[in-house]
Every structure is written in C-alpha cells, then in structure tokens.
Amino acid sequence: QKEVEQNSGPLSVPEGAIASLNCTYSDRVSQSFFWYRQYSGKSPELIMSIYSNGDKEDGRFTAQLNKASQYVSLLIRDSQPSDSATYLCAVTTGGTSYGKLTFGQGTILTVHP
C-alpha cells in the first residue's frame, strides 16, 4: 500500500463547477498536510496547508482533514481553466523524518470552458 494515495485521474470538470480532489494516507502519526499545484514544466506551488481536523478555506479553495479516517481533500469552487494542473497531496510525519514530504502520485485536473 502506498503511503499517500490520491484519487486516480485525470479529472475533468466544466468551468464553474466544483472540483473535488481526494487523498488518503497510511501513517497515523502524520502531522501536517499540504496541497500543491504543479503546472506542466513548472515546480510545485503550495496552495493549502492544514494541520487539524476540519475545514480550512482560502478563497476558492477548501481543504478538509479527517485524521480518524486518514483522509484529506481539496475542493476548488468555481473552477477556472487556469486551475488545470496536477494537484499533489503531501504529508509530513515527525521523528527522524521531520519535515520530509511524502507525495501522492498527483491528480491531473482539467477544467474545460
């Protein structure tokens, strides 16, 4: 079982719709959770971080964390064509691996006009 798994893509949504990206992780001691956006040929860009259970909203983005279910998601409201990218879920744990990110395989999102 992979440490961080994302829902298989690619995901295609029409402009204006809600895009839902999901991620599960296997290590119960995971502490910090991140969503990165990566455009083709570019480096990842941090768009959301979440550390405690519940929802965190930032503009059109909402991250949801459920530690009991080991699940983190990202909702993008009013999706725009410019949101088309690969979305990476990343998780950190403590201990000797402090600060190291474990990435999911990424979900390719396409928002079509």
Which whole-number Å values give the CA distances from 91 to 6, 29, 52, 108, in the listed order?
A: 12, 10, 13, 19
Q: Which of 16, 18, 42, 78 binds other proteins (CB under 8 A)?
A: 42
Q: Which of 26, 53, 80, 105 binds other proteins (CB under 8 A)?
A: 105
If you compute the radius of gyration of the chain from its CA atoms, what whole number of angstroms results? 14
Interaction of residue 43 with other proteins, rule CB under 8 A: yes
Residue whose structure tokens are 């204006």: 16
Q: 18 or 46: whose CB is closer to other proteins?
A: 46
Applying the rule CB under 8 A, the residues between 8 and 37 that interact with other proteins are 32, 34, 36
Smallest separation (angstroms) from other proteins to the CB of 79 = 23
The token pair that represents 71 in the structure block: 């699940």
**What residue type is 61 in one-letter code?**
F
Helix (H, G, I), strand (E, B) or coil at 83: helix
The token pair that represents 30 in the structure block: 């995971």
Q: 26 or 105: whose CB is closer to other proteins?
A: 105
**What residues make contact with other proteins under the rule CB under 8 A?**
32, 34, 36, 42-46, 49, 51, 88, 90, 92, 98-101, 103, 105-106
